[in-house]
Structure 1
């Protein structure tokens, strides 16, 4: 190949075409060399696109760049059958170009620079998105409108071309324009109507034959490449999954322990500062223990990226350290051969502000005096422990391992869970000495053995039976049914841990104040530090509530003895309900009057977007409103308990078991709890939020007829009781007003739609929360 910088041309020489016109097949992947800096939009430095099987095909006097479709195949068929299957399913022609030169031996020369300027990564869709493009977090409406590639402001850069024996690497500048860029982009880009990013293109030689695909096993999870094989025998499935994994071969395949032909090496971004660098090297290095225990000696290493190396070069598995305007998700990605599931490159993106948010939380718990003390409660030290775990977690994804959100219920069995800090109490004070686990987990060792070693069915079945495993679909949403599927939760018993954590929260709140600030720090920062402490229980609450209407099930196969799903025992469900109801009681939601003046300190200076998203709405200016804080916490509990799918499961379970917790009993306990303490504004706000949420749920299109009827009747009963309540003053006015709204159908509908009165709950997850109670969900079917 050669470049012509003055003309902007990048000329590549292709082999002479075969009979079918195909000159060359490669793996093709794109990645961002420069990022946008927006956590919600996910356009981070190091983000990669889909891996494509790219073919250069001669058609007449032109060359077509086509993305082929290897998912549909006839692997055991002859050439004619394979060709027939390929002809039955669509491919994508993404670019056509003239042949610049035909060499005497039939080789063809083309200029690929115009192709490199195309938006093959899908940046325009990300800039215009209305939900989480990465699929790792909740949906968020955040984007601009009408962004499109401007080809006059986009071009490939010939100076960036790097050709190696097995891969070609080259960059292109791409500019996207819009007259409505949106607030997120306006907050970051100097001319928000023109967003310029540098896109890296990798063309990689197809892996050599010899890789042995491994069938995906649902019992142990992971990531998979789907194969639709029409040569499968009749009676055998046509659709199957191939587990994604690196090629890892022992020098002595027959030995229980052996060195390997080529170790898996991950490289850490040289931009990673100390002491973060050391923490990540330690945590990522834990995987070497898992491979060693699986019989692979020195099979995994983590090192600093060699000086001068390009982190986007397809030869390097990378852990990138990136900065964003606000905190956001970390993620692990794979470049995978779509024919076999072989991982060619792993790419991790870690956001720098996550650690700083963790420090905010730890500082609220133990005080600013512990900062950089080096002790067990040093927020910086604990944040570094968290980063070590995070590095191991995200690299685990690139190795082929999925989340296991049940690991926290089996004594931290996996780094592939989402871990909260384990907060103890020592002499009545929060203690962080055991905040995060060190080292790889027993589940991780089992999955390495399954994915990379030659395990037999007996060993796989034993591992699946020994350890709990819950993946994203059955865990991420707050209303999923799997009792063990919680995020950011801890403990062998989620209900007991919620009760314990509420005691930790109370102790921490009783000590919270100016000690959470460093000398000279603005007092206004207390408002931001207060929120994660106030909502410390938010994820353990969700984890405990999954017992209510919950089911214990496995990703079973016939014959393993775990085929049947079992409802959670009624006593366990009632215990979880009582623990959740305790989070609604006024004593749990009363902000100390002594804190209100401190939380009302004024802020001065330029607006900090991260700060603004992290605090509760005020009562005007800086004035803290304790009822808003109580409302936010009550809203989380009410929405969790009243999730329509949870209530539907209660109906189903009570049909088969008279002793089961039913919807009626749950609504009775819920309303009795919130109506027992309406003598002050706090109790009335909690009751209002709960009853309003009930009205909203009854009108949701995904509420079953049985659930809607039960809630409607309960609200009618409550309305009648409030009309007869003997009270005076503010309580009497509140009871009569709410009674009228509950008993009149039109006013109840207005109550259900009174979303402006719902408070905004600051984000807990790295990007934010999906508001499942938004107005559109009340008016249109929920997908």
Structure 2
């Protein structure tokens, strides 16, 4: 025991005799170095204990600017909510960021290169820059000034700010998505909590041309919405990791290309006050990668730096192979434009950061529900040069497609590898999707008219082409393979050496309809449809109704795998029942439709032409055919199967994708008919479509008019009211007419025609000779339509209206007006 005491005393004396570290001493800042010891974008040191990230800025120039870089943000971790689009890999707008010394402080400012004087001297350029506002995002003290004038600042507090706009996305109302309600799907009052947000010094990565840093950001709210509550462990506190990229300005030598509306794409706007008088001050530069031939004079040449896309290492097989195949199709288009081996796709190297700006990425993300895929660009706002492409693909989309294919051809062929194998067809769809989204990041916009010209572009939204073989649905030609003829032409224009004659020829050869003239159901362009097929939209609608009828006649337990809950039939039934929904919208665009191009003076086809009256009337016939009881009667044998009970925990995806029941699991076939009726009537009676009919008839008395449409519609639905199904179709049609008549966007002429037609129908129903249920229905509806106050009430509330399960995005990319949330180029 004494020996132990002596040993302890000796240890204590030795410890007391050792030199003491200064109180408050901290480890020295760690110098961050670029790989291989190369010089980085700028000197960076980190102090983990203090959470500091120290940048050494160059000495400031005369205007106080020490450094200009391109700045972009991206989500390194996502929420997993499709409607809110806060996905891993989502990027923000690219900004021209300046570190400017003002007195003894440094201001971080977003400059405004859109307004410029391209041909002016330095004084004129400075004058224009002074005329338009910039954004000062943050001001900080200078931590140290070195002998050579360089300045050290701690950038960490800036990185913790919400420069990506996450709070705005969380607080977004559903109305912003065009859903028609005003509830906040993310929540209300979400704000960044400074105390729960900070930059991560351990995440700093330095490269020769870029600096990459992560920050943890926490957003708090006392009123989180359903999307957040469904996913986050503590919904009142949502934490995401935001990635920041600071990128060296590109070297001179990039040649901007003026945007050509005939072939489209994404663009960077310029407001150039040095433009000559008579020339436009506002014009667009087409967004594109820098792609230079080794031999510029050769029709075909290798390139100095190929465009390479990298696939997320989290992408599983066989999806990985399908995406590599589809994305790789773009290599054929570049080769056709004279660029040899200019484009390729590879797996992301082990250890590489997918948010590193040097890697064009295709990310595979998971969400709680199915949602859109999208393609984004980091673009130099001065020139339109694409610095990086970033694609986000959601994993549940392919599984939704498999649901549809099982409904069409059954589950027996699952994983068989045959032409009707739902898994194989879904992989074919993924190849198309990969090519489509990468196309956006290369600079190409949607072309929603390509489907009417033999699948001319992967930039359309392709539906599965469903054939009928021996009366049964067939998927052997569901999706095209390879790049389209439109894609080859646009690569040639955007990246190649196409002259004016070649560009004009391509514009004359192909139809082209971008989002503004195609996405909504009531747009005017006759050929701009989403997820439609075929050269004749009307004929394809008629054919699709035949396919639908054949598929419904075979639908049943064969659509389920062995041991699968029978309740899943109810979810699989919906996309089959509404199989015609997209082709219906595409065909209806012939009614009141116009054929036009994005013409330039002297290029031909400058004048827009309305669709011929005969074609419009033929389309009206096809549209009205979707409202017959025969088309909308659920096969009686299916009702018991669709009434199977569901057990287990709630699945929000399932709940949003099925029709409302008649209580418990009991399937209500009238609800299914009501939903399909709503789709047809709302599409046909879209106020802008009816307004165009008024305009067209004003110029041509032989044109289809609003009165003729309403007469044909009411004659169709009122002639078959002998049973509950016919009466439900007629009720929904008339109630929708009352609603459209009161809509603010209905023109006076359209509102008057609808209003008078409803009064006429009320009088007709009051005189109808009927008994029992039909008599009660006719008299009740007559009172609701004939009295102005009752009709106003019917229009205002649409009582007993059923909800239609969502269709988008069963087929493709974006968008419910999400462009304000996402980076340019979606």
TM-score range, shorter chain: over 0.9
Counterpart contact for 1:211–1:247, Cα < 8 Å: yes
SS at match of 2:247: strand
How do residues 137-536 of structure 1 correspond to structure 2 at under 5 angstroms? 142-536=185-579
Query: How many Å apart are 1:771 and its aligned residue?
Result: 11
Query: How many Å apart are 1:755 and its aligned residue?
Result: 3.0
Query: How many Å apart are 1:754 and its aligned residue?
Result: 2.7
Query: How many Å apart are 1:78 and its aligned residue?
Result: 0.6
In structure 2, C-alpha distance between the alignment counterparts of 1:141 and 1:377, rounded to whole Å: 42
**Cα 1:132–1:383, aligned 2, differ >3 Å: closer, same or farther?**
farther
**Cα 1:472–1:137, aligned 2, differ >3 Å: closer, same or farther?**
farther
**Cα 1:644–1:591, aligned 2, differ >3 Å: closer, same or farther?**
same
**Cα 1:190–1:385, aligned 2, differ >3 Å: closer, same or farther?**
same
Counterpart contact for 2:177–2:816, Cα < 8 Å: no
Query: How many Å apart are 1:629 and its aligned residue?
Result: 0.1
Counterpart contact for 1:288–1:298, Cα < 8 Å: yes
In structure 2, C-alpha distance between the alignment counterparts of 1:754 and 1:675, rounded to whole Å: 22
**Cα 1:133–1:10, aligned 2, differ >3 Å: closer, same or farther?**
farther
Report Cα offsets for 1:88-116 as digits up to 9, x if no partner.
00000000000000000000000000000
TM-score normalised by L of structure 2: 0.92
SS at match of 1:450: helix
In structure 1, C-alpha distance between the alignment counterparts of 2:186 and 2:351, rounded to whole Å: 36
TM-score normalised by L of structure 1: 0.97
SS at match of 2:355: coil
In structure 2, C-alpha distance between the alignment counterparts of 1:83 and 1:134, rounded to whole Å: 40
Specify the alignment match of 1:537 in structure 2. Answer: 580
Specify the alignment match of 2:657 in structure 1. Answer: 614
In structure 2, C-alpha distance between the alignment counterparts of 1:139 and 1:44, rounded to whole Å: 23
Counterpart contact for 1:648–1:707, Cα < 8 Å: yes
**Cα 1:221–1:411, aligned 2, differ >3 Å: closer, same or farther?**
same
* Pick aligned residue for 2:594 from 547, 551, 558: 551
Query: How many Å apart are 1:139 and its aligned residue?
Result: 10
SS at match of 1:161: strand
Q: Does residue 636 in structure 1 map to residue 679 in structure 2? A: yes
Specify the alignment match of 2:122 in structure 1. Answer: 79
SS at match of 2:630: helix
Specify the alignment match of 1:598 in structure 2. Answer: 641
Q: Does residue 98 in structure 1 map to residue 141 in structure 2? A: yes
**Cα 1:168–1:211, aligned 2, differ >3 Å: closer, same or farther?**
same
**Cα 1:326–1:682, aligned 2, differ >3 Å: closer, same or farther?**
same
Counterpart contact for 1:40–1:767, Cα < 8 Å: no
Report Cα offsets for 1:528-561 as digits up to 9, x if no partner.
0000000000010000000000000000000011
What is the count of residue pairs matched by the alignment? 772
SS at match of 1:53: strand
**Cα 1:99–1:132, aligned 2, differ >3 Å: closer, same or farther?**
farther
**Cα 1:263–1:45, aligned 2, differ >3 Å: closer, same or farther?**
same
SS at match of 1:544: helix
In structure 1, C-alpha distance between the alignment counterparts of 2:391 and 2:184, rounded to whole Å: 25
**Cα 1:494–1:137, aligned 2, differ >3 Å: closer, same or farther?**
farther
Query: How many Å apart are 1:362 and its aligned residue?
Result: 0.1
SS at match of 2:66: strand
Any unmatched runs of 5+ in structure 2?
1-43, 818-826
Specify the alignment match of 1:761 in structure 2. Answer: 804
Report Cα offsets for 1:113-160 as digits up to 9, x if no partner.
000000000000011111598999999952200000000000000000
Report Cα offsets for 1:457-509 as digits up to 9, x if no partner.
11100000000000000000000010000001000000000000000000000
In structure 1, C-alpha distance between the alignment counterparts of 2:158 and 2:753, rounded to whole Å: 60
**Cα 1:138–1:481, aligned 2, differ >3 Å: closer, same or farther?**
farther
**Cα 1:435–1:137, aligned 2, differ >3 Å: closer, same or farther?**
farther
Counterpart contact for 1:3–1:10, Cα < 8 Å: yes
Specify the alignment match of 1:10 in structure 2. Answer: 53
Counterpart contact for 1:474–1:485, Cα < 8 Å: yes
**Cα 1:462–1:249, aligned 2, differ >3 Å: closer, same or farther?**
same
Rg larger in structure: 2
In structure 1, C-alpha distance between the alignment counterparts of 2:178 and 2:719, rounded to whole Å: 42
Query: How many Å apart are 1:750 and its aligned residue?
Result: 1.2
Any unmatched runs of 5+ in structure 1?
773-783
SS at match of 1:2: strand
In structure 2, C-alpha distance between the alignment counterparts of 1:306 and 1:216, rounded to whole Å: 35
Mean Cα deviation higher: 538-547 or 738-747: 738-747
In structure 2, C-alpha distance between the alignment counterparts of 1:444 and 1:674, rounded to whole Å: 44
**Cα 1:687–1:137, aligned 2, differ >3 Å: closer, same or farther?**
closer
